[in-house]
Chains A and B, each alone.
Chain A
Amino acid sequence: MLDYIFSLEFIFAVIRMGTPILFVGMAAVIGAKADILCIAYEGMMLFAALGGVIGSAYSQNLAVGAIVGLLAGLVIAAIFAYFVLYLDTKPLLTGLALNTLGTGGTVYVVYLLTGMKLDTSSLASLRFPTIHIPVIKDIPVIGSIISGHNLLSYVAFIMVIVVWYLVFKTRLGLRIRAVGEDPAAAASVGINVRRTKFIALLISGLIASMGGLFMSMGYMPYFTNNMTAGRGFIGIAAQNLGRGNPIITMIYTLIFGASMAIGNTAQSFRLPSQFASMMPYLITLIGLVVIGARNKKNERRLHESISRKSKV
């Protein structure tokens, strides 16, 4: 067991399993900065996953497939944003509805196209290539760790930097944070709150859609019925544990990936399978308790210092 954790296969498994969660985590970071509770990432991912397969199968062009997939996910994000921001529906219910649409609607489209309801294995869709980085791959140890992943896995890690830069270093990021923290104050200085939130949700949807593309065009070569299987929610959990910080969120997605990889291998050592599938959720729960306790402590310390000052 221990030699597995220190093996190259383990690191690859963590990155493979972490990639879709990392995309959703980054999407959720932007959503959280704009202060919108979006749980529709499952639906966006499913539609993007299916869109990518259909686009690439019929055009036999990877770029076309990627664009069709991203657009499919973006449509769901736009529907969510329009309903929540302009029609004032409850974000939680809207998200639930779109997730249900994602599981049911994609199966319907698959059935229309292939006459089958379980998967698209009969469509000759393309997948993103595995990248062997020229010079780096020849460096011992580090080379074999860094090189040889799917293109989208690299994109996911680059996305962490992009999101960090977007949120903290650009004017749009500043506006997103402003409308998220205090919409009234942001509006008073002339920021269009709704439009800014709309843009934030579209960017968020675009990133989540890349996670969907990875599922059906990297991880697996086809779309299978409800293939995201809760990854959209684990990504949101990672964002919550990372408290909106892209770097810490990334660390949590890797912890999730590692716990799943360990759980998978532990099954062969007769750990009950139910325990293995429980792992990511258990970690989330523990993490939330730790964060909650720390917040409480900080609050108490703040109170104490205030009361001490008032006595003086």
Chain B
Amino acid sequence: MARKHECVAMLLAGGQGSRLGILTKNIAKPAVPYGGKYRIIDFPLSNCVNSGIYTVGVLTQYQPLVLNDYIGNGQPWDLDRFDGGVHILSPYQQIKGTEWYKGTANAIYQNINFIERYDPEYVLILSGDHIYKMDYSDMLDFHKANNADCTIAMIEVPWEEASRFGLMLVNDDGSIAEFEEKPKNPRSNKASMGIYIFNWKKLRKYLIDDEANEASGNDFGHDVIPAMHGAGERMFAYQFDGYWKDVGTIDSLWDSNLDLLNPKVDLDLDDDSWKIYSRSPAAPPHYVSASAKIENSMITEGCEISGDVDFSVLFANVRVEEGADVKYSIVMPGTVIKKGATVQYSIVAENSVIEEGATVGRSPEEMSNIEDWGVTVIGNGVTIGKGVSVEPKAMIDTDMGGEK
């Protein structure tokens, strides 16, 4: 048996993220690129190591190839360790048969043996869906101080958006009075962030009970948390103040990337005391030619820029040729935007080619009917032919020809 660990983190990274459409056709949502050089999963992983949690189980299921390869042995996050470290936990064959992870709680249930090896007091449950910087050790201190059985991280969201979230009504002492799941008329704006700390022994019991209950959907939010609450366990809400964004939709992914260009947004990724680590592509610094014009943008290693870039986030090894115009867009690694092409209000995934004179996306101002406007998405490895025009809101995952 391994040395006893106070807290083990379990990161639920098996979700498809279907609302991201073609961006998650071949990769799991936590592997979606973000912020010029990161993938979404870099945030919870970096938060773990910055919080002093060095034992992380990553539960994968949907399209795990890219994610597994990206995490590798965990070295970019200092999680390549003899004692603990990062472990990829995929569904496996057992004597009683093979089972996919049926729900978030079932995924943890199937890995009870992994957690038991470290004999932890606490288990931290995370998801790979959010962009935020959070010190989990503060949350753990709060959990201990309240002698809680379960602590749920909570953030106050704007009232008008509250009905999209799982909400909590919180007593004055921080304990949770009631849960509301996406109510029409919210009575609270305190949203669950999907981050839980449990006393392991207690959680273990509830997971086993939940598994035995055939009516259960085996989900933390729907089944396990309500069961614990119903049984009168000590449940507390830990308030988080800071940047936190679910990047589960095209619009929120686009918004959240552009937030990085807004000096008023409280998300500093260049903070030495809380670095966000990622696997480096080993490319030289980016080159900006004499014909380039770059403003309000984030650009990283390996890029070659000769065109105009404004309000955009460019990932590694992107090439923007002379006369090309990139505005309000997210361009993922290895994509080439050729001479005279225009890309605006778009997300272009990895290794795509926008040929000369093509037009991708449009600005809202150009639309006669604003209802028709939306972010344009070009999938991985897609070529948009010469002079082709791609409409707003379109999602393109096959080549579009043009004049030969």
Partners in one complex: no
Residues of B within 8 A of A (CB): none
Residues of A within 8 A of B (CB): none
